Structure 1
């Protein structure tokens, strides 16, 4: 009986030491993995579409819808404490809202290269460094307010007024 008890203790001791050794070995190898270099290079990030209202004479005349992509160094992006997409979106909205004026009947070409350079410059100023390498245009469009209304009227998704009978009120004569 004593022999069986010593064999049981021996098995428990070997199991505990093996578990401890395995855990210690895995903890040491995890630190080495995190220090491995990452793949460097440019990273492309697509922004959500930006809807910018065009206000002329105090009224909204339409919307500019822009889809942009920016490039940045992958290593620099990993080191940033905040996502740079917020700053690029804000800079793009500011640039299109203040500089992207559209006049009725006078649709002209814009200097997109200059606009993208201004967006890049504003975003990098906020990020306090040369983080953004380039701003690319995925798509840019202008939708007139009347076109939006016509589209809503065609699809029938416009909110409808409730009649007094439909709202449950009784008419008195």
Structure 2
């Protein structure tokens, strides 16, 4: 009698395991992420390093050091030769110096997402279409004029204090670097 019960339990266990794996293997694979085709259709346009002076009361008080790149739609920019460095420099002067979007005294309150969106919107407006899909802020730092003087007056030791405004690059920059674009 014990052998019969054991054989029944063994058959039930084998059946449950077989059904579990049959269902698991029969389900459709997950659909590819919606981001993958969109990212595959984008091209990285590397930006150059920019130094933008901050002028207050007619005097230079510091410098923004930046490197900003773009993710642009491959199909829309095909055959176009756009002066992206000049456009970006002009836009950064407008945003950082003219509109003073970054208050150097309150760096922690800086809205990175708003900064990226403003650059994207303004540059697309200048270009006359939706050419730029994403702004990649690779570096945005502030260096005061006093720190530059310390470096020049020092005995070769680097005593500058660079204020990092953005520590993390855009998530798109990481995915593009992984893909090797």
Scaled to the shorter chain, the TM-score interval is 0.5 to 0.7
What RMSD over aligned residues (CA atoms) do the two structures have, in Å? Answer: 2.1
Asked if 2 retains the 8 angstrom alpha-carbon contact of 1:67 and 1:138, the reply is yes
- Cα distance change of structure 1 residues 85 and 77 upon mapping to structure 2, 3 Å threshold: farther
CA gap of 1:41–1:103, structure 2 versus 1, over 3 A, is: closer
Other-structure match for 1:56: 56
1:55 shift after superposition: 1.9
SS in 2 for 1:53: strand
Task: Assess if the C-alpha contact under 8 Å between 1:120 and 1:134 holds in 2.
Answer: yes
Deviation track 1:29-85 (CA, whole Å, cap 9, x = no partner) reads xxxxxxxxxxx7211112111211122233211011111111001121123243444
SS at match of 2:149: helix
Structure 2: 5+ residue runs without aligned partners?
1-39, 157-181
How many residues are matched?
116
What is the deviation of 1:107? 4.1
Measure the CA separation in 2 of the matches of 1:127 and 1:81. Answer: 11
Q: What is the TM-score normalised by the length of structure 2?
A: 0.57
| TM-score, normalised via structure 1 length | 0.59
**For the structure 1 residues 86 and 107, does the alpha-carbon distance in structure 2 shift closer, same or farther, using more than 3 Å as the test?**
closer
For residues 61 and 51 of structure 2, what CA distance do their matches in structure 1 show? 13
Partner of 2:79: 79
Point out the structure with max Rg over C-alpha: 1
- For residue 167 of structure 1, what is the aligned residue in structure 2? none
Kept in 1: contact 2:102–2:110 (CA 8 A): no
